Structure 1
Amino acid sequence: MDAVASAFAAHPREGFLPPAERGRAAYDGPLVIGHGQTNSQPRTVAAMLRLLDVRPGQRVLDVGAGSGWTTALLAHLTGPEGRVLGVELEPDLVEFGSANLARTGQAWASIRQAEPGVLGLPAAAPYDRILVSAEPRTLPDELVEQLGEEAVMVIPVAGEMLRVTTPGPSVTRHGGYRFVPLR
């Protein structure tokens, strides 16, 4: 079993969904978690995590943490020697995602309230990896600047999944995807 499959097995999607959606956890599509947000399609999350190539001990930023599922998966991949910081704009989802994440026992991961008008968490940068689970119209320089040396960001931009690497940055394209808008 590869690292991403191991993370999925350790942190089933069901535990990160509202009670009304838990029966649909196996559905390979986005599920509503409230406030106009979704828990992403499992196949898409797996593809993004494989593109991100998270390693043990890395510092990771999870933009659009929502239900906390991707934050938990990332924490599994970094292990306790790593650090995962999730940011979420919607206060109710910060609370929901934090409660879900707390049940995983991964104390090296947390979800914080995003500051309106600020992308990511620049005060804690640089990051080895950045995962973005919402879609901007253009690649945000503000997030690229939070990447460390030899870092990777995976982000859907204008309907296309991008893998951004440093130094450079260098951008590769990895197919069409739809996400909620990045605000």
Structure 2
Amino acid sequence: MSHRAGGERRLEEALAATDRRRFLPEEPRGLAGEDRPLPIGHDQTNSQPTTVRNMLALLDVRPGQRVLDLGAGSGWTTAPLARLCGPEGRVIGVERRAELIGPARAALAGTADAGTADAEIRLAHPGVLGAPQDAPYDRILVSAQADAVPESLVARLADGGVMVIPVRERMPRLERHGEGVTVSEHGAYLFVPLVEDPQTTR
């Protein structure tokens, strides 16, 4: 089996094992099977399943990798990332909305088993984008729209690392090799804005 075919199979299995209803508030759970974003409160959404699948396919997560899930929201992306990384991997989700942290952690805990990575969801620190103390990352997934690619996140990619981030309604995929970065674009998407603190220094 080719790497690409194996990766697609693993991705489908990870998504199938992640019950979207678990990551939704009670009111919209009946709509979990619909292929559209759903509100989770506090001006945030649970992303459209097709969008999540496309982003994870671009990210190409391998077993044993360290992954940053920035804009973890309800934990809806953190859970399949943990399954894709496998038990030797690590996933760190970061979310700025304090109100979402408790439900997201509870939902994520309900999906953990022997086949998933050590995964957690943290509250973002003011003035800090992501979790720089745990860099470098093999993969970075950003589920919020930026005005430009944050150089601080590119700097936290390991050699050979990949980042997928929506920028101005486009979906670039960045791959780092040494000091060089290659960029490819993959379609148009709408996301809630990435909140970058004006005092961000790290």
TM-score class normalised by the smaller sequence? over 0.9
Is structure 2 residue 124 aligned with structure 1 residue 114? yes
Equivalent residue of 1:54, what SS?
coil
Instruction: Give the percent of matched residue pairs that are identical in Structure 1 and Structure 2.
Output: 58
Secondary structure at 2:166 match in 1: strand
Residue 147 (structure 2) pairs with residue 137 (structure 1): yes
**Structure 1 segments of 4 or more deviating over 4 A?**
none
Which runs of 5 or more residues in structure 2 are unaligned?
1-7, 196-202
RMSD: 1.0
CA deviations 1:40-67 (Å, max 9, x no partner) are 0000000000000000000000000011
> What is the deviation of 1:176?
0.6
Larger radius of gyration: 2
Which residue matches 2:199? Answer: none
Q: Within 1, Cα distance between the matches of 2:21 and 2:171? A: 25
CA distance in 1, matches of 2:71, 2:126: 13
Aligned pairs for 1:72-111 (under 5 A) are 72-105=79-112, 106=116, 108-111=118-121
Contact 2:143/2:165, CA 8 A, preserved across alignment: yes
Corresponding residue to 1:14 among 5, 17, 21: 21
Letter in 2 for 1:78: C
Contact between 2:95 and 2:121, CA under 8 Å: does it hold in 1?
A: yes
The corresponding residue for 2:184 is 172
Question: Structure 1 length normalisation: TM-score?
Answer: 0.97
Structure 1 unaligned regions, length at least 5: none
Q: Are 2:42 and 1:32 aligned? A: no
The correspondence for 1:58, drawn from 29, 54, 65, is 65
Native 8 Å contact 2:89 2:117 kept in 1: no
Q: CA deviation at 1:117?
A: 2.5
Matched residues in 1 for 2:88 and 2:117: separation? 11
Letter aligned with residue 17 of structure 1: L
CA deviation map 1:16-63 (0-9, x unaligned): 110111100011111000111000000000000000000000000000
Report if the CA contact (8 A) 2:85-2:117 is conserved: no
